[in-house]
Amino acid sequence: MRLSSSTLATLGLAVVNGCLLPEELDGGKVAAIHRRHVEDFPIMPIGEGDRFKDGELPIGVGQSSRADFTHILNVAEVGSALTSLADAYHHRVGITTFSQRTVENRTIVVAQIGRKPRVFFTSGLHARERGGPDNIIYFIADLLWANASGRGLAYGDRHYSPRQVKAALGVGVIFIPLVNPDGVAFDQKTNSCWRKNRNPARQYNDPADPSVWSQSIGVDINRNFPTLFDIRRFFSPSSNVFATTSEKPEEDVYRGPAPESETETKSVMRVLRTVKSLSWYLDLHSTAGHLLYSWGHDDAQSTDARQSFTNRTYDGQRGVLADDYAEFMEADQLAAQQDLTTRMAKAMNDAGGASATNYSASESAKLPLPHLDPKKGYPAWGSTDEAMSLYYGRRCGVNRISGITVEFGTPSKAKCIFYPDTASYIANLRQMAVGLMEVLLMAAADRHGNPKVWSGPNCARRQQYAVRQAERIEGLDNN
């Protein structure tokens, strides 16, 4: 399937809250984790060569016992797997690349199923969180195979009928399996537990600490989103946000030199801003076994719309849990996110099996980390918050998107806890396939309705003004 010309035009495409390590909090640097040795734990190896370059299709865990998982997908294989799927299911799948390349001249690939996708998936924002792109690609491969074969899918004790497969596929999904290809390529080459991209724009040398030269490369993509980028303005001085976000290039949570400065961030934002059919967005991270909903920077509430990031009255008060400020979200949207994450947790736990993760749902800002004060939570502004902020930013005609963050898997015993062994990798594939299926089925339940759009009191007047201006210009052209 070719992506529609309107989709390509709006996306501007060329045709063709992960967890932190303890030492990365409170100003910790990559030095403590740089070039970790992993020989003491049997991590799953990275693929060598390209298994899909000749058109071979990826086979997911839901298809059959033929599925053989021996290596994590390398960067080249992510692209070739998508190409193989698009060739085999050309009436269903379209792929293309964003026109702007990364600093290391790589392309970021986006794929789409359906002309008006209701769901958006991303993974690979944080380079070291291995298996995220694999989870999406192998699930999509399962879904396409089952639909073409008229079959259902089984993941452990969780079964989906052919009818459910068709309903899930009919929702439409757009996905970027690998947002940060430069960072992933570096991490896979060095086993250095690398989190950021590879932008050297703010690289500098510190005579007192020679390691800063290599550590000051890169930006944390999930701290580079624009709306609450100015943490000193928006957040309370006592907020934990100053431990989870940094202005220093050598730190692992460096937010970047400017909001939305990175190609990787721009690519995600292009989809969020231009695909007007979206209702749900899910971003994959690891590794904590949590399904996170609602805002990432503060508690959520549905009674006082004045408590909003758009209201400067509350600047300097955000980012502390259980205080007087909580971010507004419409009650039906908050309930839907709670419902979905609860359903996902049950389904993913049902999939179970060896090396399975026990999943639970919670508010994003309340992500429990033992090294942070639980009363202050884990405040951070990332991709899913940005997706939701477009509507709550009160821009006329913007569709309302619900954002869910998945922290898949559990910490491994490797020196870099984000590197799974083979058993955990396969368990993650199985449980994440179920989670992704539940998202699509949730969207399918209301697929016949248009996404809710912001229509505040000034929107009608603005629309009328735009119509009058267009009529005036047309009249001038006719004279």
Tens of pLDDT, residue by residue over 107-146, are 999 999 999 999 999 999 999 999 999 999 999 999 999 9
Backbone angles phi, psi at 160, to 5 degrees: -125, 130
State the pLDDT at residue 223.
Answer: 98
- The CATH superfamily of 5-470 is Zn peptidases (3.40.630.10)
Q: Is the pTM of this model over 0.85?
A: yes
Give the three-state DSSP class for 292.
strand
DSSP 3-state helix, strand, coil percentages of the chain (rounded to 5)?
35, 15, 50
Only one residue has tokens 């769901």, namely 119
Contact criterion met (CB below 8 Å) for 241 and 344: no
Digit-coded pLDDT (tens) for 372-427: 777 788 899 999 999 999 999 998 999 999 999 999 999 999 999 999 999 999 99
- Cα angle value 308/235/283 (rounded, 5°): 70
In this structure, which amino acid lies at residue 219? V
Estimate to the nearest angstrom the gap between the alpha carbon of 389 and the chain centroid.
Answer: 15
pLDDT tens figures, 285-299: 999 999 999 999 999
Per-residue pLDDT at 34 exceeds 70: no
- Average pLDDT, stretch 91-97? 97
pLDDT confidence bin for 429, thresholds 50/70/90? very high
Question: Which range has the worst mean pLDDT, 29-38, 143-152, 262-271, 367-376?
Answer: 29-38
Q: Domain limits of the chain?
A: 5-470
The strand pairing partners of 281, in sequence order, are 120, 403
Is residue 444 within 8 Å of residue 170, measured between CB atoms? yes
Half-sphere exposure in the Cβ direction for 49 (13 Å, CA): 4
